[in-house]
Amino acid sequence: MSFPDIRPRRLRRTAALRRLVEETRVAPAELVLPLFVKEGLAEPRPIASLPGIVQHSRESLRKAAHEAVRAGVGGIMIYGVPLNEHKDETGSCGLDPDGILNVAIRDVVAEVGDSSVVMSDLCLDEFTSHGHCGVLTADGSVDNDATLELYARMGVAQAEAGAHFLGTSGMMDGQVGVVRRALDQAGHHDVGVLAYAAKYAGAFYGPFREAVESTLQGDRRTYQQSPGNLREALREVDLDVAEGADMVMVKPALPYLDVVAAVRERVTVPVAAYQVSGEYAMVEAAAANGWIDREAVMLESLTSIKRAGAQIILTYWATEAAQLLRDRI
């Protein structure tokens, strides 16, 4: 009995063939650019642990948003960094319509309008003096239900500032439902919720904490997920979808690709993944030492996240990656 000469390498012989049969492609429109805006800055300020990333002034934030849209980036996620003297135990400056985050939302919406999806981080950690994502009890633990009341008010303030989507990132039980109800009661039926459904208490967030000037005392293990748990992540996802989440997200991305894949199989809403600051910083550091091809690793890492099942990728490379992807077409 004879067999045909089966050679899978025939499909890899030329660049044109490889493009023709490529199974996973990342598109610029699937990328979301996280941006930091610092209260009181006249010029952008570099972040040492995130090479190439800055804390923006209001003016440079508008320019960065415009550049991202011009490159084809699909969305922008805004993080506000207040002056330390404006932080307090309850993160009240995060709810202030004239606080840095809500002012920045208005600035970006005025700059890009509906040509991009303007997202805002709905969490208190940037605004609290203790750096936790919610209100603390007398023993120092986070009071889930008291925090939800603030999230509801914060969500309405961000919607009124013009945000298209709110990123509920605090990992409080019931946060999606509370924010959804508050938005609907205030008439913001069209403002969506991107649920940080599976946000892990991992070790990849260090540079981000420099970027937002975190004053965190202790850790967040009592409310963020344990890195060893997958089934728990699916339970969190189920709850967020049931509470009205329009999209769900896994954070971080690369160390949790199995979670991304499992979530994609679980739900019918769009799935996002956040390529966090530690993932970005490791690549940048290795590239600076000449150990890797920076652009190749950048695009390969984004492809792996897409292949795992993420339809939307938050990445600090969004604008640059979008330009590279467009040049490859």
Which residues are marked as active site? 199, 251
Are residues 92 and 127 in contact, defined by beta-carbon separation less than 8 angstroms? yes
Are residues 212 and 176 in contact, defined by beta-carbon separation less than 8 angstroms? no
| Rounded CA separation 64/80 (Å) | 15
Are residues 131 and 88 in contact, defined by beta-carbon separation less than 8 angstroms? no
DSSP label at 271? E
DSSP 32-50: EEEEEEETT-SS-EE-TTS
- 3-class SS at 177? helix
Provide Rg for the chain, Cα atoms. 20
Who contacts 258 (Cβ-Cβ below 8 Å, separation ≥6)?
230, 308
Nearest to 306 by CA among 269, 279, 271: 271
Pairing of strands 271-275, 312-315: parallel
Give the helix ranges, DSSP H, for 49-191: 58-71, 100-112, 144-161, 175-185
